[in-house]
């Protein structure tokens, strides 16, 4: 009969048992220190990477995605394929990123509305931008310009405020859709100035611009890159800019702070995101690569020529920025009682 404690029974484990226990402990230790999946440590990437854009082709997010992909592919040694997944104010494409496997083969362009506004606006998102995504890097941002048609009776922002107070709910402003930067810039102006105006949403910023040029709406907060050609052509009159300081490309246009409305500071921003759970080593590798791309003279010049500021920075800084923007715009949505 075997002795108790010599490999079987309820006593101390024998030699084989001790070896098995050591192996189990070693595996547990390795599992706690190695990133998941192992591809993050070696072998990644070994196939093409998808870069999801939550908006249609030709817009600011799409342009930035294709600029990054052009440089990111050789930096990582694999193709980076841009896929446009528009709809629901950016929610559809952003959800695709949030629900993707956290293995580094699906990343996305994350922007103002789906990351900082839509949770408060829609209330029933199938993802949480603060917990279901891993911020990689904030790439760029740009202000908006309040524009009126060249033939408008409004010569400045004060004219608009006086007219809106005299006849509440009669002036109209266009936007590219509910909850976007066009829309919320005007809502912030309404709250800051204590006025009431009618929102006229369109299916995209270009459609809103067309009606603005035709005089069918009174005004629109336009993104800089979109507004500049019509301003330079004398078709639109810029009245104010939402940046903290005047823009070099429009040095004669005052900031809203100069006009006595310091709350009206808005930037339309974007960056690169990944699914939550993407290994930190992989996120940091993407961050380093994209920061290097943003420093490329050709990329820096292309972004600046769109009247956007080149940013960059760490994943942690991008995460903190998203939290701050989410808090700010949730308040605007709530105070304005804005509903989709």
Q: Are residues 323 and 290 in the same domain?
A: yes
What pLDDT sits at residue 7? Answer: 40
From 221, 241, 261, the end of a domain falls on 241
Q: Are residues 150 and 135 in the same domain?
A: no
What pLDDT sits at residue 19? Answer: 63
pTM of the model: 0.83
What pLDDT sits at residue 100? Answer: 98
Q: Are residues 150 and 236 in the same domain?
A: yes
Give the domain CATH number at 96.
3.40.190.150
Would residue 235 count as lying in a domain? yes
Q: Are residues 102 and 51 in the same domain?
A: yes
Would residue 318 count as lying in a domain? yes
What's the sign of the alpha-carbon dihedral 239, 241, 244, 246?
negative
Residue indicated by tokens 């993802």: 127
In three-state secondary structure terms, 250 is strand
Give the domain CATH number at 161.
3.40.190.10
Q: Are residues 123 and 152 in the same domain?
A: no
Full domain range(s) for residue 301: 45-141+269-335
Would residue 178 count as lying in a domain? yes
Would residue 264 count as lying in a domain? no
Residue 265 near residue 242 (C-beta atoms within 8 A): yes
Q: Are residues 100 and 148 in the same domain?
A: no
Q: Are residues 223 and 151 in the same domain?
A: yes
Q: Are residues 55 and 113 in the same domain?
A: yes
Residues in the chain: 340
Q: Are residues 117 and 75 in the same domain?
A: yes
Residue 272 near residue 111 (C-beta atoms within 8 A): no
Q: Are residues 290 and 235 in the same domain?
A: no
Indicate the burial class of 50 (C-beta count within 10 angstroms; 0-12, 13-18, 19 or more): middle
pLDDT in tens, the chain (340 residues): 444 444 434 444 455 556 666 655 554 454 444 444 444 445 899 999 999 999 888 888 999 999 999 999 999 999 999 999 998 889 999 999 999 999 999 999 999 999 999 999 988 889 999 999 999 999 999 999 999 999 999 999 999 999 999 999 999 999 988 888 999 999 999 999 999 999 999 888 888 999 999 999 999 999 998 999 999 999 999 999 999 999 999 999 999 999 999 999 999 999 999 999 999 999 999 999 999 999 999 999 999 988 899 999 999 999 999 999 999 999 999 998 988 7
Would residue 3 count as lying in a domain? no
Would residue 29 count as lying in a domain? no
Would residue 37 count as lying in a domain? no
Which of 140, 120, 145 is closest to 130 using CA atoms? Answer: 120
Number of domains making up the chain: 2
User: What is the longest distance spanned by two Cα atoms in the chain?
Assistant: 106
What pLDDT sits at residue 95? Answer: 97
Query: Which are the contacts of 119, defined by CB distance < 8 A and separation ≥ 6?
Result: 125, 128, 129, 130, 326, 330
Q: Are residues 86 and 231 in the same domain?
A: no
Q: Are residues 158 and 217 in the same domain?
A: yes
Phi-psi region of 123 (alpha: psi -120 to 50; beta: other; left: phi over 0): left
Would residue 129 count as lying in a domain? yes
């Amino acid at each position: 009969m075997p002795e108790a404690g010599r490999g079987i029974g309820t006593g101390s484990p024998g030699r084989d048992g001790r070896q098995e226990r050591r192996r189990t402990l070693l595996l547990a230790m390795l599992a706690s220190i190695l990133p998941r999946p192992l591809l993050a440590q070696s072998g990644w990437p070994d196939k093409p990477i998808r870069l999801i854009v939550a908006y249609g082709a030709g817009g600011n997010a799409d342009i930035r995605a294709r600029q990054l992909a052009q440089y990111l592919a050789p930096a990582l040694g694999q193709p980076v394929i841009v896929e446009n997944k528009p709809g629901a104010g950016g929610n559809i494409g952003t959800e695709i990123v949030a629900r993707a496997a956290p293995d580094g083969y699906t990343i996305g362009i994350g922007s103002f509305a789906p990351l900082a506004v839509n949770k408060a606006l829609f209330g029933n998102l199938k993802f949480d931008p603060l917990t279901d995504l891993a911020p990689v890097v904030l790439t760029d941002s740009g202000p908006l310009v309040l524009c009126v048609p060249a033939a408008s009776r409004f010569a400045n922002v004060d004219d608009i405020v006086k007219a809106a107070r005299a006849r509440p709910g009669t002036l109209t402003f266009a936007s590219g859709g509910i909850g976007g930067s066009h829309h919320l810039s005007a809502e912030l102006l309404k709250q800051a100035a204590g006025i009431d105006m009618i929102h006229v949403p369109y299916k995209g910023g270009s459609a809103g611009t067309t009606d603005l040029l035709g005089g069918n709406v009174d005004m629109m907060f336009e993104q800089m890159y979109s507004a500049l050609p019509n301003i330079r052509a004398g078709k639109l009159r810029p009245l104010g800019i939402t940046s903290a300081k005047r823009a070099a490309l429009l040095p004669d246009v005052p900031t809203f702070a100069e006009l006595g409305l310091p709350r009206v500071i808005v930037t339309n921003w974007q960056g690169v995101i990944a699914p939550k759970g993407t290994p930190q080593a992989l996120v940091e590798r993407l961050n380093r690569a994209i920061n290097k791309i943003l420093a490329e003279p050709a990329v820096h010049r292309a972004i600046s020529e769109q009247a956007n500021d080149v940013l960059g920075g760490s994943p942690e800084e991008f995460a903190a920025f998203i939290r701050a923007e989410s808090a700010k715009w949730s308040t605007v949505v709530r105070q304005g009682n804005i509903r989709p």
